[in-house]
Structure 1
Amino acid sequence: MTAPARRSRLEAAVSDTARPRARAVLFVLTAIAALLALLAGCSTGSVDGGGESADTTGVERQGEFPRTITHAYGETEIPEAPQRVATISWVNADVSLALGVVPVGMPRNSFGANANGSTDWFDAELEAVGGEMPELYSETDGINTEAIAALEPDLILGAYSGMTAEEYETLSKIAPTIAMPEGDVPFGTAWQDSTRLIGEALGRSEAAEELITEVEGQIQQVAEDNPAIEGTTFVWATVDPEAAEKIYAFTDVDNRPRFLTQLGMEQAPVVAEASSGSPDQFAVTWSPERADELASDILITYATSPEVRQAIESDPLLGRIPAVEAGRMVVQTDEQQVLSISASSPLSLPWALENVVPDILAAAEQEQA
């Protein structure tokens, strides 16, 4: 595509500016987390850290281009091996980087961000491959089509996202766009499926399978090293005495229960039963008046401050949750820890195994004692 043609195409797309989306994204992180905040970065990235050149010739590709990728909104043809990749939402930038392709642009994190507006696991991998920080753009008001268009990408990744059909059409005017897999609910794509889909789009399918095997092996090793957690029941929820809805329990559509299940633990039967009629919901509301029925070996919840623990324990209703009464509640106050599992990726999960899982294991082992 010539430069004038590309500019014309981008200008047409930007004119269809993305509309703010009222989606249940809060369940993806926490019931109280906000979407990404505004702060633009100052440089673009490429596979070899070469800035604007975005030279990806050093990345081995499998298969032939052009290729057609199937996803929730149909089929996308990718004419040649992508060299300038932009991403939306969470996870997609992690996967692209893990497969050797540094995005030229990605959303800035507000929830769970480090000082760079990124995450510790992304930054560590970026340093390892010698890449430059991608351009960071805000998604506070929805997908930032203007910022993405300005980067002139040749591929937009949204395999893990809540992209609507209208947003897909707008992004497709900028560059070939990959939405979530067909049949997945918004923000409900498992990290393995995101990795496979992105690997196919990048011509890195073999590397994607190797990456999945490696990360699953690390998870399995932790499970084998801690056999006592096998069969331990859990409730992963947001419990907050000050919230309008005081208890949200995450279902197996959410990445958090999925992850603990991989470790050999089991979703509490009461949550599994309560969510059985809602296969697309990330969480179910639980009445505080029935807190004593929310039975599990351990409870994990996010809180904005350590003081929330005492507030839960002293609450006349929430304090009756069996795991709270037994002293087997894990309270997470570190946003990056929450993000590492709620938006699971092949980069975040190894980090979580070191920085999040030990507290969960300690609570599970206390139950066994």
Structure 2
Amino acid sequence: MILELVTLPAKTAPKTAPKTAPKSDAETDAEFTEIVAALTRRGFLGGVAGAGALLGLSACGNDVQGGAAPATSAAPRNLTDAYGTVRLPRNPRRVVALSKAALSTLLDVELTPVGTDEGETQVVLPKYRTTVAGLPTVGAYGAFDIEKIAALRPDLVIAFDTYLDAALYRKLSAIAPTYAVRTSDGVIPWEQASTAFADAVDRNDRLNALKRAYAARLATVKAQYAAELTGCRWEVVQAAAPGTFYRYLPSSDPSAILTALGAKLGNAGAKGPNYWGHELSYETITRQLGAADVILSVAVGSEPLLAQPLWKKLPAARAGHVYTTDLLFPSSYSGALGLLDFIADACAKIRSSR
């Protein structure tokens, strides 16, 4: 399950679009006509012909999208997304990537997008920050600027379904083919999301190389640090609202990766309707985490939790085996490789302390 942001509540990625009353088709078409007119006046859509084409496309529904010309002369591909069948160009070059996962996956497969949403520079992997800082932005989540997107002349727009409601999806589809990855109420395994975004830009071959690297690294860490992984009791936490924290369930991404490594989870077998469980009060720190040998914590916002007297008395804290990072919730295979390296480093420190 992707965690787009490391702020709480934990179910933050893909984000869930704000709830608004649905507009009628007439209202949507009228609003879109105004946008097309504004874009045409600014020269973004190639004059009357371009505007007419967009208006025609806006009335075609979501069965097969049109929009900008394919990036190559190869025949387009039909894929299924959250809103239906989408006709996507082969080897697109001018992609607008909305979300950390979409952006990170494109950079993983060596395709720099022409634009993204605001705020991604702070949350992408450090190796990508310089590149992302130089990208044009098209507005924040929930307030994307269609004119800015059109001005970038994309041949593809990719996002999660929670980023694009039906009306916005329809408008963007008239500007360029738009692909919205389906989620389950804003939750999707990071591997599935990364594969979907790579497929949308026709670069699954490049992603496959990263998949092999991830599998090989996982096998290496599992074999090299079997004693530390199986001999210690591991926990994953995150500070929540003031006075509370989350103890992540086995279904969370970091816990699932630890399980794949053969690690022993302190709450193995625990289940819940989601992967973060309930907010737990500081008063329960000893009861919840007193048996843990190793604790992994999301770094951002962790200071109040780690400063608690009860926290400092935990065996893991006294032994120096609390490790903080913002890599716990990967959004791409590069992020997952970073998490494996982080866990390997923790295991090496545990081994050296014995």
Alignment-mate amino acid for residue 293 of structure 2 = D
Matched, 1:357 2:343: yes
**1-structure distance, mates of 2:164, 2:137:** 22
Alignment-mate amino acid for residue 121 of structure 1 = K
1:28–1:343 CA contact under 8 A, matched in 2: no
Structure 1 pair 85–164 and aligned structure 2 pair: CA distance change class (3 A): closer
Among candidates 346, 359, 369, match of residue 333 of structure 2: 346
Q: Which residue number corresponds to residue 30 of structure 2?
A: none
1:56–1:101 CA contact under 8 A, matched in 2: no
Q: Which residue number corresponds to residue 294 of structure 1?
A: 288
**1-structure distance, mates of 2:255, 2:340:** 15
Q: SS state of the match for residue 307, structure 2?
A: helix
1:255–1:344 CA contact under 8 A, matched in 2: no
Q: Which residue number corresponds to residue 29 of structure 2?
A: none
Matched, 1:277 2:272: yes
Structure 1 pair 89–307 and aligned structure 2 pair: CA distance change class (3 A): closer
Among candidates 104, 120, 127, match of residue 121 of structure 1: 127
Alignment-mate amino acid for residue 135 of structure 2 = P
1:167-193 Cα distance to aligned partner (Å, 9 max, x none): 544433432222234x5441x333322
1:28–1:342 CA contact under 8 A, matched in 2: no
Structure 1 pair 78–343 and aligned structure 2 pair: CA distance change class (3 A): same
Using the size of structure 2 for normalisation, the TM-score is: 0.66
Alignment-mate amino acid for residue 120 of structure 1 = P
Q: Which residue number corresponds to residue 189 of structure 1?
A: 188
Alignment-mate amino acid for residue 30 of structure 1 = T
Superposed displacement of residue 251, structure 1: 3.2
Runs of 4+ in 1 over 6 A off after TM superposition: 32-35
Q: SS state of the match for residue 179, structure 1?
A: strand
**1-structure distance, mates of 2:295, 2:133:** 40
Superposed displacement of residue 29, structure 1: 1.6
Q: Which residue number corresponds to residue 212 of structure 2?
A: 213
**1-structure distance, mates of 2:235, 2:135:** 37
**1-structure distance, mates of 2:88, 2:120:** 31
Superposed displacement of residue 360, structure 1: 2.9
Alignment-mate amino acid for residue 158 of structure 1 = A
Q: Which residue number corresponds to residue 31 of structure 1?
A: 8
Gaps of 5+ in 2: 14-69
Alignment-mate amino acid for residue 190 of structure 1 = P
Q: Which residue number corresponds to residue 223 of structure 2?
A: 224
Alignment-mate amino acid for residue 246 of structure 2 = Y
Please say which structure displays the higher CA radius of gyration: 2
Identity fraction in percent: 22
2:6–2:298 CA contact under 8 A, matched in 1: no
Q: SS state of the match for residue 235, structure 1?
A: strand
Matched, 1:103 2:106: no
Using the size of structure 1 for normalisation, the TM-score is: 0.64
Matched, 1:65 2:71: no
Superposed displacement of residue 103, structure 1: 1.0
**2-structure distance, mates of 1:170, 1:250:** 38
Matched, 1:76 2:86: yes
Superposed displacement of residue 104, structure 1: 1.0
Alignment-mate amino acid for residue 178 of structure 2 = T
Structure 1 pair 365–344 and aligned structure 2 pair: CA distance change class (3 A): farther
**2-structure distance, mates of 1:123, 1:110:** 8
1:236–1:257 CA contact under 8 A, matched in 2: yes
Alignment-mate amino acid for residue 233 of structure 1 = R
2:91–2:203 CA contact under 8 A, matched in 1: no
Q: SS state of the match for residue 94, structure 1?
A: helix
1:87–1:107 CA contact under 8 A, matched in 2: yes
Q: Which residue number corresponds to residue 173 of structure 2?
A: 172
Superposed displacement of residue 88, structure 1: 0.7
Alignment-mate amino acid for residue 207 of structure 2 = A
1:27–1:283 CA contact under 8 A, matched in 2: no
Q: Which residue number corresponds to residue 17 of structure 2?
A: none
Structure 1 pair 309–145 and aligned structure 2 pair: CA distance change class (3 A): same
2:7–2:300 CA contact under 8 A, matched in 1: no
Among candidates 321, 330, 335, match of residue 328 of structure 1: 321
**1-structure distance, mates of 2:229, 2:125:** 30
Q: SS state of the match for residue 192, structure 1?
A: helix
Gaps of 5+ in 1: 1-24, 36-54
Superposed displacement of residue 212, structure 1: 1.1
**2-structure distance, mates of 1:306, 1:81:** 42
Superposed displacement of residue 82, structure 1: 1.8
1:84–1:103 CA contact under 8 A, matched in 2: yes
Structure 1 pair 341–172 and aligned structure 2 pair: CA distance change class (3 A): farther
Q: Which residue number corresponds to residue 255 of structure 2?
A: 257
Alignment-mate amino acid for residue 285 of structure 1 = E
**1-structure distance, mates of 2:345, 2:9:** 22
1:76–1:178 CA contact under 8 A, matched in 2: yes
Superposed displacement of residue 217, structure 1: 1.5
Superposed displacement of residue 87, structure 1: 0.4
